[in-house]
Amino acid sequence: MSIKQAFILAVKSLSASKMRSFLTMLGIIIGVASVIVLVALVDGFKQQLVDQFESMGTNLISVSIPGRGGNRGVTPDDVMEFSIENAEVIGYVSPVVNVSNLTVKNGAESVTTTAMGTNEFYPEIKGLEVEYGRFLEYVDVERRQKSCVIGTYIANELYQNAQSALGSELKINGISYTIVGVLEEVQDSEEGSGDDIVYLPYTLATGLSWNGRISSYAFSAAEKELVEEAENRIRAFLYSVFNDSNAYRILNQSAILEVVNDLTGTITMILVGIAAISLLVGGIGIMNIMLVSVTERTREIGIRKSLGATPWDIMSQFVVEAATTSSFGGFLGIALGIGAAIFAGNLMGVPAKPSFGAVAIAFSVSVGIGMIFGYFPAKKASRMNPIEALRYD
Amino acid sequence: MIELKDIYKIYSDGDSEIRALDGINLRVSEKEFVSIIGQSGSGKSTAMNIIGCLDVPTSGSYFLNGEDVSRMGEYELSDIRSRTLGFIFQQYNLIPKLSVFENVELPLIYKRMEPRERKERVERALEKVGLLDRYKKYPKQLSGGQQQRVSIARALAGDPKLILADEPTGALDSKTGIEVLEFIKQLNREDGTTIVLITHDHGIAYQADRVVKLQDGKIISDEVVAK
């Protein structure tokens, strides 16, 4: 008997008892759907993380120098000089002064936010875009001009909108700054998001921070491929200054991305592992029903054997039937999984895209499970003695 | 056609053994119509299983159409059943979820026949039993006599050299029984198919050309029926 014939026969016998076939498939449907949904959600989540990191600049190298109070140290001028000497690998550099829990005011209204002291190159390093006005410029930094650039959250909270904020005064620690620019919205303008921020010349920000120091530097490599080389040179430079590799910490974006990849990879493995268990349970369900079906159809098997069916014919009939059940369940599971992934993605705000790989793997695994779990009952059927099978009621 | 030599079929059940067939010798020539008659327990079912290549004897040799069946394995038995045999059963043994056409087609599928040829053969066989117009029906929708005619069509669709009929009229009323028997006789007369009919009913048995009586696993008489 050809596979096609066995398939037609399988469809016939499955449609003869639809409710039972559906219940048999349910395990596979749920298993396949959950694999697809979980993979899609984790992928979406990972993409979101990666996008976030990449929006911060993939060429970024952060250097933090925790203060020790010693007399050794680097000045922004030293760092600038080093960068210019290594211009073939280092694109831009900016000192970074982080001032958290800073209250800023416009008249009577105030918000608590984070201020970052930087130089004019910071947008190039971090990939910031200015929506209105401009970013800080050389003169702001060098002459310590009281200019600032704000995020959309501050603009919306303290002013009517971004446009009206431009050119207005912002009071930071009682001192008036002129808002010279408003950044593009990056994260829904929510409190604590990337839009809840004020950029100042670092030369002024040091006065606002508790220790008055520049705690870190942001570098960008000249090109993505040069990140490692740039990092090595920065390390060598810092070592020559501090003579102690514990005095500073260097972090590059691709190292962070690797960590993200590793982490989401592990999460995917765990979740898919759990989903795979339901596929296994589905397979056992199929085996169970196939065993019942073989017993119920003992007489049919006897008839077929008396008509010249070989053990192979009988076995392929039952294996194909099991595989048909599970692959049909697989199809339904894929449809359900894609639908559920998109629905859950929307609900959770994750860009869940069912991946072709997950669909292909889930489907082939479900067919495979049908064949593996169908094999044992099929083998049983093929070994039946035709005489006893014919006599069976 | 059939040659049984010293056939023994012994079922041992712990200490005791049952000699279902106790030294059978039987020759059936081509185109013969033979009945095997006996009470239940006489060994006639066992004889039918061995002649039908569903089972192999414990000892002795069985040649069917020149082939030694008694030493065959499962696959060879399937093959010889497919090539040379047709079965007609008391309970018709049609597969309920298959249509009349598909039931008749089944042995041809196991013969690995091409679909076009299968269709021709099925139609010819159904025409012969007068049920071509019912080819789309399912066994449940037919009367007992019609179902048995479908099973006859199934048995002859593959052009077997030997048809084995196991109590073919057992489940039918006497009128339809006679009709079915007429079909079987006609097959023998017109197509020259060898028929072995197994029954416990004298009236049916003596419709054949030759009657073999079995008792306790032995042949007790073998007579040619005078017409």
Chosen for mutation from A306, A385, A391 (greatest number of chain B CBs closer than 10 Å) is A306
A:166-205 residues touching chain B, CB 8 A cutoff: none
pLDDT at residue number A348: 85
Q: Which of B49, B97, B110 sits opposite A307 (nearest CB)?
A: B110
pLDDT at residue number B2: 92
List b or e across B90-127, with b for residues whose CB sees 16 or more CB atoms inside 10 angstroms. Answer: bbbbbbebbbbbbbbbbbbbbbebeeeebeebbbebbe
pLDDT at residue number A72: 59
Quote the tokens at residue A88: 């073939």
List b or e across A50-72, with b for residues whose CB sees 16 or more CB atoms inside 10 angstroms. Answer: beebeebbbbbbbbebeeeeeee
pLDDT at A69 over 60: no
Task: Give the integer Cα–Cα distance in Å for A50 and A47.
Answer: 5
pLDDT at B139 over 70: yes
Cα of A306 to nearest chain B Cα, Å: 7
Mean pLDDT, chain A, integer = 86
ipTM over 0.95: no
pLDDT at residue number A387: 85
Dihedral sign, Cα of residue A83, residue A84, residue A89, residue A91:
positive
A300 φ, ψ to 5°?
A: -60, -40
* Helix axes A311-348 and A298-306, enclosed angle (nearest 10): 130
Mean pLDDT, chain B, integer = 91
Selection from A3, A17, A5, A27 nearest residue A275 by Cα? A27
Average pLDDT over residues B55-64: 91
Q: Which of B49, B82, B97 sits opposite A308 (nearest CB)?
A: B82
pLDDT at residue number B13: 80
pLDDT at B36 over 90: yes
pLDDT at residue number A365: 84
Band the pLDDT of A358: cuts 50, 70, 90. confident
Average pLDDT over residues A86-114: 89
The DSSP secondary structure of B176-213, one letter per residue, reads HHHHHHHHHHHIIIII--EEEEEES-HHHHTTSSEEEE
Average pLDDT over residues B5-31: 89
* Architecture label for domain B2-224: 3-Layer(aba) Sandwich (3.40)
pLDDT at residue number A67: 65
What digits encode the pLDDT tens for the residues A206-251?
Answer: 888 877 778 789 998 888 788 888 888 998 998 888 888 888 888 8
Cα of B144 to nearest chain A Cα, Å: 18
Nearest CA in chain A to B99: A12
pLDDT at residue number B16: 85
User: What is the share, in percent, of chain A residues with pLDDT greater than 90?
Assistant: 19
User: B107 and A307: CB-CB below 8 Å?
Assistant: yes
Q: How many CB pairs under 8 A join A and B?
A: 62
What digits encode the pLDDT tens for the residues A44-67?
Answer: 888 888 887 777 667 888 888 876
pLDDT at residue number A68: 56
Band the pLDDT of A191: cuts 50, 70, 90. confident
What digits encode the pLDDT tens for the residues A259-277?
Answer: 888 888 898 888 888 888 8
Is A303 near chain B, with CB under 8 Å? yes
Q: Which of A16, A308, A312 sits opposite B81 (nearest CB)?
A: A308
Task: Give the integer Cα–Cα distance in Å for A96 and A93.
Answer: 9
pLDDT at residue number A45: 86
Average pLDDT over residues B178-200: 90
Q: Which of A13, A299, A306 sits opposite B81 (nearest CB)?
A: A306
Chain B residues close to A302, C-beta within 8 Å: 93
Decide which of A9 and B82 is more confident. B82
Nearest CA in chain B to A303: B93
In contact, A186 and A49? CB cutoff 8 Å: no
User: A311 and B95: CB-CB below 8 Å?
Assistant: no
Domains of chain B: which residue ranges?
2-224
Q: Which of B93, B98, B111 sits opposite A308 (nearest CB)?
A: B111
pLDDT at residue number A178: 92
- Report in angstroms the alpha-carbon separations of A201 from A96, A120, A208, A214: 9, 8, 11, 12
What digits encode the pLDDT tens for the residues B195-209?
Answer: 999 999 888 899 899
